[in-house]
Structure formats: C-alpha cells, structure tokens
Amino acid sequence: MRLCVPVPCFFKKIDFCDAIRQIAALGYDCAETYGWKNLDLDRVRAVCEEVGVELRSLCTSEFRMTDPAYRQAWLDGLRESCAAARRVGATRLITQVGPDTGAPRQAQHAAIVETLRAARPILEESGIIIMLEPLNVLVNHPGYYLTTAGEGFDIVREVGHPLVKLVYDIYHQQVTEGNIIPSVTQNLDCIAHLHSAGHPGRHELWLGENDYRYIFDAVDRAGYDGACGLEYSPTLDPLASLREARERYA
C-alpha cells in the first residue's frame, strides 16, 4: 500500500506545483486533491511527471445524487471532471452523494444507483474510476445521506460496473460504526482508495484510538495494493507531520 498526500490538507498557502515538488522531496510518490478548476492542469501534469509523483485523484464538480432532479447536472459535472482527470493524468474521481433530502431512504438509495448506471458510458469513454465517499454525520457532515460503508458497498454491487467503487475513509467509519479491518478486508472488491486520520480530532494517525500500523498490516495481508490518503489536519508543522507519517507507516 502506498501513502498518498492530499495537497489541500498540508499545503494551503503555496503554489500547487511547488507543493508537488515538496511532496516528492519528502519521499512520497502519490498525491490527491479536491477542486481542480483553478489548476493549470497541463502544468500540474508536467511537474508530476518531472518529479515522479502520481496525482491519483480529484473530486467531481457536482455532488447531488440523492435527488433525481439533479441527475443531469451531476452527469454533466462528471463528464467535465473526467476530462480534467485525463488531462492531468489522474485515474480516479471522488464524489459525494449529497444531502439526505427527507425522501424515503429506499428512494434516495435508488436515485444514487440509477445515476451511477446512467454514468457508465461517460466512465467507459474516459476509463476513470468514480469513487463514492461515505461520511460521518455525528461530527463533521450533518445532513449527509451516505454514512455507512455497508450501504456504499451495496450501491457499488448493485451498479455492478468495474469503474464504480468506494473510497473507504477509516476516520469517518470509525466515527460512524468502527469494525474497520473486517469491513475493509472483506470488501476489497468494492474499494479503490482509502483515507485515514486519527480519531477523535481528525489529526495525525498516531494521535487517536486506532492502531494504524495494525490496520495497514491487515489490509496489506488481505491483498490491497492501492493507496491511502493521509487526510488529516496536522498538529505539527505540515512537513514535519508528513515526515513522521512516512517514518511510521511507509
């Protein structure tokens, strides 16, 4: 498993390409980001190729999937986001599913599935993997619809397409339901990326109740060969935090 650096978590005030260079200098070869519309995608790709850092994922530009009225807007956003991902060299997009609309959960679940089924031609044309993200509502994202990895896995399997997967965020699922290792290792067919942070606080991995060395070892033994984003707010100097994370877990 590779460690992946989410650029916005650690580099808030410097040029994006300079951040990529610093990530490479720290010994990492994988990064991700969220919004992409303000990036010079060609320049970013050139710098990533120059220093040997894979920009693994971006986020979609639209996030509402629970309400069918927004389906076309989400699909249009997916199309432009897939084009951006290909241009910058990313292979994955993260999307959220949107708020709980108050409609019956069965109807919202079905709306997400149907939206993803409608997305299949866009994904097949681009070759980009779309990854749903369950989030916790107890601490960080009140009102969000998709809270459990279990429902996320159900959605992925109902859609039944190799380019539709889940990003499993260990921090969010620890807040929501725990049971991290069985949940990940028994559902690797549905997972295309991991996120991590210490809980409580969403800080460094070693500042929390999870033993990430044990988790990462178990995930590696189960055959996961993807990446894990260090999606936390550092309490240390950001560069010092990344150095220590690499020393502990790389």
Cite the active site residues.
133, 231
In this structure, are residues 5 and 231 in contact, taking their beta carbons and an 8 Å threshold? no
In this structure, are residues 133 and 94 in contact, taking their beta carbons and an 8 Å threshold? yes
Sign of the alpha-carbon torsion through 146, 113, 226, 61: negative
For residue 93, CA distances in Å to 42, 124, 125, 126, 195 come to 18, 14, 14, 11, 14
Sign of the alpha-carbon torsion through 43, 194, 115, 119: positive
In this structure, are residues 137 and 144 in contact, taking their beta carbons and an 8 Å threshold? yes
How remote is the C-alpha of 92 from its chain's centroid? Answer: 9
Listed residue (191, 227, 235) closest to 249, CA to CA:
227
